[in-house]
Amino acid sequence: MPVLHNQVANDELKRRMLAESAPRTTLSFYKYFRIDNPQAFRDELYLSMSELAVFGRVYIAGEGINAQISVPQHRFEAFRTLLYAAHPALDGVRLNLALDDDGKSFWVLRMKVRERIVADGITDPTFDPTRTGHYLRAEQVNAMADDPDTVFVDMRNHYEYEVGHFEHAIEIPSDTFREQLPMAVEMLAPAKNKNIVMYCTGGIRCEKASAYMRHHGFEHVYHVEGGIIEYAHQAKALGLPLKFTGKNFVFDERLGERITPDVIAHCHQCGAACDTHVNCLNQGCHLLFIQCPACGEKYQGCCSEICRDEKDLPVQEQRARRAGRENGLKIFNKSRQRLAMDLPRRQPGNPEE
């Protein structure tokens, strides 16, 4: 029976990927469509992608597929042929190519069956996810960005919004997409007669969010085709001014791709202009936060003096020190309601931020 999951240690897989000389292309795609047997679809697709040495993260559910992957460049056309033939609904599906790509984004293929490809918390049986808002291409996005009767809504998490967003876009300050949906309806109620433009990284969240807004009576709803990634590709190809400022956060080893040179975020430790996300090198913490090079050197890649002093200790001593400490709450909160930490982090809402 063929192996349908990875059996090699992560460290070894990462070492192999970094040693590769053949270039790779990072891309993402999604599609909402009905899959009658998600597990069988997953197993067949896993075997086919594995044969092409595809790495990445793929979620499959009865409602469709959501993928962020890297493909060897010399096998890109073979991959596209494979994908387009995997299901009639995937024939011609848009592939969002990464904007700032060294090909070192993933080192293993993980493909999982889930209840939803995006956890939305929607239980209303009358909700129709296909009744989405109108797609907007880059030139239309720019025109609406200059329209005072249009509201741009960012459907991503706070740590994504913090390093880059469309000009004057509204942030929905909640911790999860399922929380954002009802909050967006409430926050945008005063703007119900205005144009509502929703956007996210690659389009998957804002497409469903636009359907949710229409379900709640909003009629002038739009979403950016292909999200930030496709918008930037189109705008650059057409020579249009970029209305998105800063960096686009991505969920792979890169943690971000540059859209414009602007740095709109700050180091969470000293407040210097910086938009580089890192994970705390203390493996007992692994906090995702923004750190400038100076603080990286000072704290040795850690989020605090405590983590810096602990990271190289024997594992048993690290565990003893963490015993009874609320490390479980020490996370990069996705909303603007950040938890106090033992590092001099700038508080949200400050004019400088």
DSSP per residue, 251-283: SSTT--EESSS----B-TTT--B---EEE-S-T
Residue 183 lies inside a defined structural domain of this protein: yes
Residue 204 lies in a domain: yes
In this structure, is residue 149 part of a structural domain? yes
* Residue 339 domain-assigned (yes or no): no
Q: Which residues of the chain have pLDDT under 70?
A: 1-19, 324-353
The pLDDT of residue 313 is 86
- Give CA angle at 345 (342, 348), nearest 5°: 130
Task: Indicate if 166 and 87 belong to the same structural domain.
Answer: no
Of 246, 281, 301, the position where a domain reaches its end is 246
Q: What confidence score (pLDDT) does residue 314 get?
A: 84
Q: What pLDDT score does 251 carry? A: 77
Residues 216 and 289 in one domain: no
Same domain, 271 and 242: no
Q: In the prediction, which pLDDT does 328 show? A: 46
Q: Residue 254: its pLDDT value, please?
A: 80
User: Which region holds residue 65: left if phi is over 0, alpha if psi is between -120 and 50, else beta?
Assistant: beta
Taking residue 221's Cβ as centre, other Cβ atoms within 10 Å add up to 23
Q: Which residues are catalytic?
A: 200
Cβ proximity of 268 and 290 under 8 Å? yes
Whether residue 1 lies inside any domain: the answer is no
Residues 296 and 215 in one domain: no
Q: Answer for the pair 326, 289: CB distance below 8 angstroms, yes or no.
A: no
Task: Provide the CATH number for the domain around residue 150.
Answer: 3.40.250.10
The predicted pLDDT at position 3 comes to 55
pLDDT of residue 16: 67
pLDDT score for 349: 29
CB 290 within 8 A of CB 274: yes
**Are 31 and 74 in a shared domain?**
yes
Closest CA to 285 of 270, 299, 304: 304
- The answer to whether residues 139 and 241 belong to one domain is yes
Q: How many domains does the chain have?
A: 3
Residues 138 and 241 in one domain: yes
Burial code (b: 16+ CB inside 10 Å, e: under 16) for 310-336 equals: bbeeeeeebeeeeeeeebeebbbbbbe
Domain CATH for 79: 3.30.70.100
pLDDT of residue 99: 79
Q: In this predicted structure, what is the pLDDT of residue 348?
A: 29
Residue 352 lies in a domain: no
Global pTM value: 0.78
User: Is residue 322 assigned to a domain?
Assistant: yes
Last residue of some domain: 196, 219, 246?
A: 246
User: Which range of residues forms the domain containing residue 84?
Assistant: 10-113
232 shares a domain with 296: no
Determine the pLDDT at residue 335: 38
Q: Please indicate, yes or no, whether residues 106 and 24 belong to a single structural domain of this protein.
A: yes
Regarding whether 105 and 155 lie in a shared domain, the answer is: no
Instruction: Report if residue 347 sits inside a domain.
Output: no
At residue 341, the pLDDT reads 35
Same-domain status, 240 and 291: no
8 Å CB contact between 337 and 160: no
Q: Are 200 and 142 in contact (CB under 8 A)?
A: no
